[in-house]
Structure 1
Amino acid sequence: MMIAAVIYNYPKLNIIAGYSAKSTASSIFVANRTLEFTDKTDTDFSPINLADDKVNISEKSAQSGAFGLLTRKAFYREGLGSVLALEEQDLNKNYLTPKRALADQTTPFPYGNAAQKDTVFNNVDYAKLSQTLDVLFDSVNQTRAAVVVYKNQIIAERYADRFNQNSKLLGWSMTKSILSTLFGVLEHQEEIDVFEKDLFDEWRKDERKEISIHNLLQMNSGLEWDEDYNSISDVSKMLFLERDMTKIQIEKPLVGMPNETWNYSSGTTNLLSGILRRQFKTHQEYLDFWYAALIDKIGMNSMIVETDLAGNYVGSSYAWATARDWSKLGLLYLQNGTWNGEELFNEKWVKYATKPTPTSDGWYGAQIWLNSGKRYPNAPKNMYFFSGYQGQNVFVFPDQDLVVVRMGLTKNADIDALLSGIVKSIK
């Protein structure tokens, strides 16, 4: 009986230990937190808290065990973040790393990282704004950072204990919006056509050949995918068992028709990361492009996007940055793709990326969430946002010239009240 139970639950133990090891390694070696703090916060939820975590500082690795039956190890690579090892030799391989630009520490925020030139706006009720943020920072909501940017100025900023403006925070699925934006940059450079079809040899003999990059960006391809984080699903197997995360979605059959079947899929996003990699002659060019064309270009210098063992950026899930730097992606969209006088993309891409996907009920664009379906009924209908697991959000308000960042550990916060309160504080 005991043996049967172990056999039945072994795959779950693999995921539990894998999640805990990966999260622990990233928390300590990317975000510079302690093991004690990580165990009490980031990995302190069921069933992940069943894992026993250990850290090797000199090796820059974390090891997690599940009931003494199974152990997983994750390790850190400079410039690439942390990744789960699948075999011992993974820890000793040489990995290409992206070239990074030096951070601009002299230009004021948002175009650099120096202190902003503060402006007091007569039309902002700062007391009401502060009261609106109060609800985020309690034991229930567990918010780690909140930043409100109005007309390129930070008008409110708050952090939980042990966090500050230099703390790197995991955006989870907000990384999807980073990846989508890179397609916008490439299209603006006339290097790619998002309506291109016939994407893979594996798809040429069936109806999958009709799937376009556009369908993938809108998660409207019709491909099978199970995005369930509470079971042994496609997404959990991809994130914690795969060497190359770009391939698992390629193997899936159609369960609907392209442009007619919306289904949220992190596998689709990582498939897009693989498509992006094919646009470059070398792996090094692919690694550099993310930073040179977008991330460092707009001064998100704190950001690190983690890669899988095959060297693909995990576009579905693994970008870390400060709350201020996350706001810069929102500001770029607010400014229709122009950053400090340089056009990375234009209003055409913004309109495309924020156009509702068919069958998404007005909730989704091109890897960007929308409010056209009135998920937040008291927020403007044309607001859109980047969104990630456990309540990571960057909200963009085109009419109000406003960006709101909330980074947390739970989705319990009353976001509708938060957003409407912030808007009301600006007269």
Structure 2
Amino acid sequence: MRKILLFILVLLFLALGVVAYIYYPRLNLITGFAAKNMCSCVYEAGREPQSVAAQDNNFSPVDLAEYEIDREDKTASASVFGLKERTAMYNPGLGCVLLPEDTGRNDLPKAKPNRLQAASSLPYPYGNNKPVDTIFPEVDYGQLELALKNAFFEEYKSRAVVVLYKDRLLAEKYAPGFSKDTKLLGWSMTKSITSAVLGVLAKQGRISVENDHLFSEWEADERQNITLNNLLHMNSGLKWEEDYTKISDVTKMLFLADDMSEVQLHKNLEGQPGIIWNYSSGTSNLLSAYIRDQFSTHQEYLDFWYAQLIDKIGMNSMTLETDLASNYVGSSYSWATARDWAKFGLLYLNEGNWNGEQIISKDWVRYTVKPVEGSDGKYGAYFWLNAGGEYPDVPRDLYSANGFQGQHVFVIPSKNLVVVRLGLVEHPEFDLNVFLREVIAAVEKDQ
């Protein structure tokens, strides 16, 4: 019996040794992701920790994390086998942020964005009141119901689907535990928000995509020739590694950096601007810094995103999270309800016009959906495109804001549709071509 116990203990020791060898260099990133996501889901989205651990953080190797929740201090901590504990703290108005060692609430940013959430008498989607009941004769409602039912098979882990058609709410469906009032993380859909803010600045005549000499740190070398267009098209030529499976530029930025805008800023050129397309979340946070530089005070920067875009179109549920330096994390961290994400799509469906007010110019929207060379027709200015036929049974004019784990705001101008899908399973496991084809079929009954 003792020999058996000894053998088991040796096996456990060896197993722990293997896990430590494989994961220890990445533990800071694993516990950083786990703590940050837990904090935001609990305090920003109002979720229960058990649900977050079982669903959102239940993938390898993040599922190794163990948690401590301090609701009084509004923190979430994560560790793996008691090692590399990381803590994230909630800062109302700015979301959750990972704390370095020996820091606490007094070290969090103090300035908060001023929000304008004026009550609107309009029905959804242009307001927040009850949507108008509308029956469209060309819509096959049975087909639409089937399309949404198919999207919520258990293995797809869908959480919300919202369909807008001709400026009306056509359909919506939510998973158990989620509703029209549940905030959900957009991940890289935040990049599309960043692009839209730049579009507002361009309409106001404050910037141009041809601008170069973007940062003083680049004046002494060839980086001074990088244009805003290059940054929006992900072809700046700056060195960057976007790999979430290991210690890379993007994981170090999101889970180790206090000022995320600084990371890409200090990367060297490894190619000529405008030639090679290279997806970079670092570029998105660099653009957040560029937006900040357009204002004389940091408070103006914090307010502008909401006053001139988010709250102006009634996305009042949205929270843009900041890093420890109080910069919006323009690559990854925005929270909103599915209905509010659909409002963002509606703004683009109507070519930047919101209920009669031109917030973003039509030219900017057209610029947004023009394919970038080297992207195989898949990418524009921080929006993904179907110009190359990624979804073969869907119109080529479709474009979308996309995020990690299957977050999508689809805009289909030729069908007058906005389709939002938020969940935890990505294409092709959740087949977007089939899903969109089935939704489109519902509005083509008489065609």
Task: Give TM-score, length-normalised by structure 2.
Answer: 0.93
Which protein has the bigger helix share? 2
Q: What CA deviation, in whole Å up to 9, does each residue of 1:172-215 have, x standing for no partner?
A: 00000000001100000001122111122332233222110110
CA distance in 2, matches of 1:350, 1:201: 29
CA distance in 1, matches of 2:367, 2:234: 14
1:83 aligns with 2:97: yes
Shift of 1:104: 2.6
CA distance in 1, matches of 2:351, 2:39: 36
Q: Which residue of 1 aligns with 2:336?
A: 321
CA distance in 2, matches of 1:95, 1:3: 43
Between 1:188-197 and 1:265-274, the stretch displaced more is 188-197
1:33 aligns with 2:50: no
Alignment of 1:263-274 (within 5 A): 263-274=278-289
Q: What CA deviation, in whole Å up to 9, does each residue of 1:132-166 have, x standing for no partner?
A: 12221122100000011001111111000000000
Q: Which residue of 2 aligns with 1:43?
A: 57
Equivalent pairs: percent with the same residue? 50
C-alpha change, 1:282 and 1:125, in structure 2 (3 Å) is same
SS in 2 for 1:273: helix
Q: Which residue of 2 aligns with 1:289?
A: 304
Q: Which residue of 1 aligns with 2:7?
A: none
* Count of aligned pairs between the two proteins: 427
CA distance in 2, matches of 1:45, 1:365: 31
Q: Which residue of 2 aligns with 1:181?
A: 196
Alignment of 1:189-204 (within 5 A): 189-204=204-219
C-alpha change, 1:86 and 1:368, in structure 2 (3 Å) is same
Residues 103 and 301 in structure 1, CA contact (< 8 A), matched pair in contact too:
no
Q: Which residue of 1 aligns with 2:434?
A: 417
The root-mean-square deviation of aligned C-alpha atoms, in Å, is: 1.5
CA distance in 2, matches of 1:286, 1:345: 18
Gaps of 5+ in 2: 1-13
CA distance in 2, matches of 1:109, 1:302: 14
CA distance in 2, matches of 1:6, 1:36: 25
Q: Which amino acid aligns with 1:417?
A: V
2:168 to 141, 153, 175: 153
Q: Which residue of 1 aligns with 2:87?
A: 73
Task: Give TM-score, length-normalised by structure 1.
Answer: 0.97
CA distance in 2, matches of 1:7, 1:241: 21
Shift of 1:30: 0.3
1:406 aligns with 2:421: yes
SS in 2 for 1:275: helix
CA distance in 1, matches of 2:215, 2:351: 32
Residues 20 and 43 in structure 1, CA contact (< 8 A), matched pair in contact too:
yes
Shift of 1:4: 11
CA distance in 2, matches of 1:10, 1:216: 34
1:58 aligns with 2:72: yes
Residues 163 and 170 in structure 2, CA contact (< 8 A), matched pair in contact too:
yes
Q: Which residue of 1 aligns with 2:295?
A: 280
CA distance in 2, matches of 1:292, 1:85: 29
Shift of 1:105: 4.8
Between 1:164-173 and 1:83-92, the stretch displaced more is 83-92
CA distance in 2, matches of 1:360, 1:206: 27
SS in 1 for 2:33: helix
Alignment of 1:233-252 (within 5 A): 233-252=248-267
2:112 to 88, 97, 106: 97
CA distance in 1, matches of 2:399, 2:213: 31
Alignment of 1:6-17 (within 5 A): 9-17=23-31
Q: Which amino acid aligns with 2:433?
A: D
Q: Which amino acid aligns with 1:420?
A: R
C-alpha change, 1:6 and 1:44, in structure 2 (3 Å) is closer
